[in-house]
Structure 1
Amino acid sequence: MPSPTVDIVSFGYLHAAPPPAHLTIDLRAHFRDPHISPELRHMTAHDEPVRTTVLATPGIEQLLEATAAAVAALLSGPSADGATIAPGCAGGRHRAPVFAQHLANRLRGRGIRVALAHRDLDKPVVQR
C-alpha cells in the first residue's frame, strides 16, 4: 500500500476563499511581506530576493518545524489517508508559496510524499 500523500496548496486570501484543508496557516500578520518593498512587489517566490526576505523573518523556522510535526501527527492517525495543508498570505505570490516550498522540502526529506501547488502564484499583483 503506498504511503499517504500530503497536498500543500499555497494561496492568497485576496483572490478567493482558502482551499479546503486539514490545516490552514495564515501568514499575513506574522511574517514579513515582500509586497511592501517596491523592488520585491512584482517578484514572486520564484525569485531569490523574495525567498531570502521571507525566510529571514523571525519565527519562520519554528513555524516550518511545528507544521511538519503537525503533518506527522495527522498522518499517524488510524485512518490517515493523507492531509491537505494550505498556507495563505495576502496575494499568494510571496510568503505562502515560499513557506509551502520549504515545508514540502522538509517533508520530502523525512520520506513523506508531497504534492505541491500554488493556486495564486501566477495571478497579478493585488493592488492594496
Structure 2
Amino acid sequence: MSVTEIRVISFGYLHGAPPKAHLTLDLRRHFRDPHVDPALRHLTAADLPVRRAVMGTPGIREAIVAVALLVEAFDNGPSPAPLTVAVGCAGGRHRAATVAMVLAERLRKTVGPVDLIHRDLGKPVVERTATGDTVAPAGA
C-alpha cells in the first residue's frame, strides 16, 4: 500500500510555530548553521554555495537517509494516509530548505510524488548573535 500524499515542509522556528506534521526534524542544535558565515547569510538554499555548505556538514546525509527510510516505512504500512514531514532550522533559509529539497528528491525516486513547500525561504534574514539570540531590527 502507499500513502496518498507526501508533503515535505521546510520552515524556520524564528518565523513562528512549526507546521503540523507527522514527523518533525529539528536541525538547529546538531548541524552547522551557514548563517554564521557572512558570505552565506543572505543567500538561501536556492544558491549552490549554501547547498554545498549544508550537504558538507558531518551527519546531514545520514539524517536525510534515516528520515527517508522512516517515510518509506510509513509508506509500506497497511493503512494508506497522507504524511507530512516538517524540516526546521532557525530561519528556514539554509539548512531546513536544503534538507527538505534533498529529502523530497530522494522520496520522489523511492516513493512517488512529493509536495515540497518552503514556508520561510523567502522571508527576511533574522539577524542573530553568536549565541543564537535574535537581534531587534534597526529602529525597533
- Fold equivalence (TM over 0.5): yes
- Runs (4+) of structure 1 moved beyond 3 Å? none
Q: Which has the higher mean CA deviation after the structures are superposed, 93-102 or 76-85?
A: 76-85
- Map of 1:30-109 to 2, 5 A cutoff? 30-109=30-109
User: Matches of 1:20 and 1:111 in 2, distance apart?
Assistant: 21
The verdict on how the C-alpha distance between 1:76 and 1:113 changes in structure 2, with shifts beyond 3 A counting, is same
Q: CA deviation at 1:2?
A: 8.2
> Alpha-carbon deviation of 1:3?
5.7
How far residue 50 of structure 1 moved from its aligned partner, in angstroms, is: 0.3
Structure 1 alignment gaps of length 5 or more: none
CA distance in 2, matches of 1:83, 1:25: 14
Q: Is the 8 A contact 2:8 2:86 kept in 1?
A: yes
Q: Percentage identity across aligned positions?
A: 57
Distance in 1 separating the partners of 2:112 and 2:22:
16
Distance 1:61 1:12, change over 3 A: same
User: What TM-score does the superposition give when structure 2 sets the normalisation length?
Assistant: 0.87
Take 1:91 and 1:43, find their aligned partners in 2: how far apart are those partners? 12
The Cα offsets for residues 108-128 of structure 1, whole Å up to 9 and x where unpaired, read as 111422000000000000011
How far apart are the structure 2 equivalents of 1:120 and 1:19?
11
- The answer to whether the Cα contact below 8 Å between 2:10 and 2:118 also exists between their aligned partners in 1 is yes
Q: Which moved more, 1:75-84 or 1:43-52?
A: 75-84
CA deviations on 1:49-97 (whole Å, 9 max, x unpaired) are: 0000000011111111100010011122222312100000000000000
For 1:29, the equivalent position in structure 2 comes to 29
Aligned residues: 128
* Runs of at least 5 residues in structure 2 that lack an aligned partner in the other structure: 129-140
TM-score (norm 1): 0.95
Aligned-CA RMSD value: 1.5
Residue type of the partner of 1:89?
C
Deviation per CA, 1:12-66, whole angstroms, max 9, x where unpaired? 0001000000000000111111100001000000000000000001111111110
Does the C-alpha gap of structure 1 residues 102 and 52 become closer, same or farther in structure 2, counting only changes over 3 Å?
same
